[in-house]
Every structure is written in C-alpha cells, then in structure tokens.
C-alpha cells in the first residue's frame, strides 16, 4: 500500500492505495467525485479525461500513485459556486450533449484546448476533441458549444 495525497479541485484527498489502483477509481471511489466517468476503460473514449496540472489525460490510464502530490481538476471543479463555467454554459446553451456520459471529459479537454487556442477553427476543434468519443450527438452541437465557450472566454479575458 502507498499513502497518496492528491489535490482535486483545490481540496486534498488522501488514502492508502494499492499501486494498481487507477486514478479514475481514486477520483470516483476514494474522493467520491463521480462526475468523472469511466467509459471504455481501454484508453479510447476519453470519458475519464481530467486535467492534471492543467493538461488533459485519460485517468483510466494512469495509476493513482503517479498523481501523488499533483493538482487535478475534474468536472466538479469547473463551476464557481452557482456560476457555471463558460464551457458548461455553452454546452447547455448549444445543447452540446444528449446522454451526457462523454460530457465531463469533453468539457475538460475543451477548457485546456481553449486556453492554448482561444479562437479555434471548426477543424481545429474537431482535431482537439478527436480523443473524446460521443455516441449521441454527431459532434455538431459540441463543436458549436466549444466555439460559443471560446467567444465567452475571450470576452471575459
């Protein structure tokens, strides 16, 4: 067992974990933050995407021990109190989801992407989210939501 402390959305979560515990399970079961979804469990779908020190990674493909001492942001860390993050507002406004399973990962990927590229083309957006699969929407509204969030974030920057 290894004792790990991981900062998630500004709060420290500690636990004695087996090295084989995946980060996605630490987030969901130890920290009880179930907004992060474990989808394919094979590094394909991106539903489990979280930001580690600001960089999107698939939390099903990293051990919790590797995140010891690191800062993680999950979907629960996007809103500021009752105020939605622009990406959340955009997904609601543009109907960027149907079942919602891919949405947390999709939004975290988008937030990191919009920081690097605040005014992306449609092609750049589609490229950026190519590691996050959605089986409902056909992506059209997701792309529009990310464009909308980009506008909002540029206005407030």
Partner 1 sequence: MIPAQFQYAAPASIADALALLQSNPDAKILSGGQSLIPLMKFRLAQPAMVVDINNIADLDYIREADGWLKIGALTRESALEDSTLVREKYPLLYETTLNVADPIVRNRATLAGNLAHADPANDHPATMLAYRAQVVATGAGGNRTIAIDDFFTGLFSTALASDEILTEVQIPAPKTNSGGAYMKLERKVGDFATAGVAVQLNLDAAGSIEQIGIAFTNVGLQAIRGARSEAALRGTSGNAVAVEAAAKFAQEDCEPNADLRGSVEYKRNLVRVLTTRAISSALAKARGA
Site string for partner 1, 53-82 (x = CB under 8 A): --xxxx--xxx-xx----------------
Collapse the DSSP code of 22 into the 3-class scheme (helix H, G, I; strand E, B; otherwise coil) and give the result.
Answer: strand
- Cα–Cα dist 21/100, whole Å: 26
Q: Is 13 in the site for partner 1 (CB under 8 A)?
A: no
Q: Is 130 in the site for partner 1 (CB under 8 A)?
A: yes
Name the pairing type of β-strands 49-52 and 71-73: antiparallel
Site string for partner 1, 81-110 (x = CB under 8 A): ----------------------------x-
Choice from 11, 16, 19, 121 touching partner 1 (CB under 8 A): 19
Q: Is 16 in the site for partner 1 (CB under 8 A)?
A: no
Using CB under 8 A as the binding criterion, the count of chain residues that bind partner 1 stands at 26
Q: Is 41 in the site for partner 1 (CB under 8 A)?
A: yes
Q: What are phi and psi of 64, to 5 degrees?
A: -60, -35
Q: Which of 110, 9, 100 is nearest to 52 (CA)?
A: 9
Collapse the DSSP code of 122 into the 3-class scheme (helix H, G, I; strand E, B; otherwise coil) and give the result.
Answer: helix
- Cβ proximity to partner 1: between 59 and 147 the closer is 59
Residue 40 CB, shortest distance to partner 1, in Å, is 10
Q: What angle in degrees, to the nearest 10, is found between the helix axes of 86-93 and 140-156?
A: 140
- Cα–Cα dist 140/55, whole Å: 25
- Site for partner 1, rule CB under 8 A: 2, 18-20, 22, 41-44, 46, 49, 55-58, 61-63, 65-66, 109, 127-128, 130-132
């Amino acid at each position: 067992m290894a004792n790990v402390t991981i900062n998630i959305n500004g709060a420290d979560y500690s636990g004695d974990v087996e090295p084989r515990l995946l980060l996605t399970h630490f987030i969901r079961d130890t920290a009880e933050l179930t907004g992060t979804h474990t989808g394919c469990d094979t590094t394909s779908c991106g539903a489990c995407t979280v930001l580690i020190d600001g960089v999107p990674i698939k939390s099903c493909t990293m051990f919790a021990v590797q995140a010891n001492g690191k800062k993680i942001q999950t979907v629960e860390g996007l809103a500021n109190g009752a105020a939605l993050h622009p990406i959340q507002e955009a997904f609601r406004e543009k109907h960027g989801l149907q079942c919602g399973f891919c949405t947390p990962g999709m939004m975290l990927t988008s937030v990191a992407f919009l920081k690097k590229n605040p005014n992306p083309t449609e092609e750049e957006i589609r490229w950026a989210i190519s590691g996050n699969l959605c089986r409902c929407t056909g992506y059209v509204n997701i792309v529009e939501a990310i464009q909308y969030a980009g506008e909002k974030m540029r206005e407030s920057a």
